[in-house]
Amino acid sequence: MNLLKNIRLFLLDMDGTFYLGDRVLEGSRPFVDKIAAMPDCQLAFLTNNSSKNRMDYVKKLQKMGFSFSENQVITSGEATTIYLNRQRPGARVFLLGTPSLEQEFEEAGFILTDAEPDFAVLGFDQCLTYERLRKLCDFVRADVPYIATHPDFNCPIENGGFIPDTGAMMAFVEASTGKRPLVIGKPNRYIIDAAADKFRIPHEEIAMVGDRLYTDIAVGAQAGITSILVLSGETGRQDLEGSEIQPDYIFEDLGELAKQL
């Protein structure tokens, strides 16, 4: 447990780690209480979903009985704005995304435009039209720097089904243009780099906690941070057998992790 002693920021996946659907998982409250009692530690939620902004998640957590600030949530959409602000603050951006994502970009100082953009950004766009996809393909063919917020092919919905996510839209653009974007979200390190920038904490003092090997745990290896698998969601112990992706630590849930801190 030596690595855990050095952690100052715990980044938490949400669904399957902190809650499941609209149900708070059993160990979540003890973990929040434990971190609150540790003056040198903090927690933040990290999600690939760019269709919602930080305040959307704060409101969801409030309904579950938790009081978190907007600063304690980082989405792949916000991480994309942090990345782009390092490249070119105030840039002109052609953005495919929801109104919430558009608001995120505008508040970060970007100019949203359909003409002569500095960057073309693909997010989880539930208002997608063929014309917007066509324009994106035109910009990509013209070598406008092409960024995607996250690579997920499907997004789970409340009835247990799935809807196409950004990864499926990326496949459309690749089929038409032959080009793939730079992807910010998990399992890519850019989302962790953004979190490190936002909280001003070095990578060696950050841990990613989640229930999925191929996103939450994989991003740990990609970014050089501590990875912690909880077995409260998608991954079971049998899934670890033969997997190239292995966590630094494994706990049944956040409650068991809290007991080790």
What are 16-35's pLDDT values in tens digits?
A: 899 988 889 999 999 999 99
**Res 229 pLDDT > 90:** yes
Confidence of residue 15 (pLDDT cuts 50, 70, 90): confident
Q: How far apart are CA 135 and CA 119, in angstroms?
A: 13
- Burial of 141-159, coded b for 16+ CB within 10 Å and e otherwise, reads eeebbbbbbbbbeebeeee
pLDDT value at position 1?
63
Given a contact cutoff of 8 angstroms between Cβ atoms, the answer to whether 81 and 105 are in contact is yes
Residue with tokens 């997608």: 128
Work out the percent of the chain whose per-residue pLDDT is above 90. Answer: 87
| Stronger pLDDT, 155 or 115, i.e. the higher one | 115
pLDDT value at position 52?
86
pLDDT value at position 66?
95
Listed range (13-17, 136-140, 199-203) with the worst mean pLDDT: 13-17
Per residue in 120-140, pLDDT tens? 999 999 889 999 999 999 999
Given a contact cutoff of 8 angstroms between Cβ atoms, the answer to whether 12 and 258 are in contact is no
**Res 160 pLDDT > 70:** no
Q: What is the mean pLDDT of the chain?
A: 94
Given a contact cutoff of 8 angstroms between Cβ atoms, the answer to whether 206 and 9 are in contact is yes
pLDDT value at position 110?
98
Given a contact cutoff of 8 angstroms between Cβ atoms, the answer to whether 131 and 157 are in contact is no
pLDDT value at position 51?
87
pLDDT value at position 3?
75
| Stronger pLDDT, 155 or 143, i.e. the higher one | 143
pLDDT value at position 39?
92
User: The whole model's pTM is what?
Assistant: 0.92
